[in-house]
């Protein structure tokens, strides 16, 4: 159901904050379910991950960060699970984990995501190829 706005169509600050809070609650719920699921079994591995040699790989705070090239662009993986990134412009990336912080590279976005995870596993949100870097 689409709601039509009576004013100029722009969202005000309150509406932006409410939508952001709703998104955070939804993503947090997905993250919690994924974390609980991962506690009972082996590490989650992305079934859609490319099996090519990574362009870049590092260990950061005990986690494996890999940058791979795919048909849809550059993809970043944390412990084999794809981190959803959106490229905003040259040297400007947002991730699903740190969506209020613009970072200068996919690797910086992955490091920030690892910091936000606090040891939990990254959950694959699906939608492959949607907002790749």
Q: Where are the alpha helices (DSSP H) in 13-102?
A: 13-39
CA–CA gap between residue 99 and residue 58 (Å, rounded): 23
Q: Are 132 and 85 in contact (CB under 8 A)?
A: yes
Query: If you search the block for the tokens 């984990």, which residue do you land on?
Result: 97
Query: If you search the block for the tokens 């409410």, which residue do you land on?
Result: 18
pLDDT of residue 115: 94
pLDDT, greater one: 66 or 37? 66
pLDDT tens digits for 16-53? Answer: 666 665 555 544 554 544 544 555 544 444 444 445 67
pLDDT tens digits for 74-114? Answer: 899 999 999 999 989 888 999 888 888 999 999 999 999 99
pTM: 0.56
Q: CATH second-level architecture of 11-133?
A: 2-Layer Sandwich (3.30)
H helices, E strands: number in the chain: 2, 6
**Six-digit token pair at 90?**
């040259």
Mapped onto helix, strand or coil, the DSSP state of residue 17 is helix
């Amino acid at each position: 159901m689409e709601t039509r706005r009576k004013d100029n169509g722009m969202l005000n600050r309150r509406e932006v904050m409410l939508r952001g809070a709703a998104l955070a609650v939804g993503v947090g719920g997905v993250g919690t379910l994924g974390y609980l699921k991962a506690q009972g079994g082996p590490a989650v591995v992305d079934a859609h991950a490319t099996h090519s040699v990574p362009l870049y790989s590092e260990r950061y705070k005990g986690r494996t960060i890999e940058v791979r090239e795919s048909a849809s662009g550059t993809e970043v993986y944390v412990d084999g699970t794809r981190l959803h990134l959106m490229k905003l412009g040259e040297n400007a990336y947002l991730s699903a984990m740190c969506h209020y912080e613009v970072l200068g590279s996919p690797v910086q976005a992955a490091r920030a995501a690892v910091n936000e995870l606090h040891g939990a596993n990254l959950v694959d949100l699906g939608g492959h190829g949607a907002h790749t870097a």
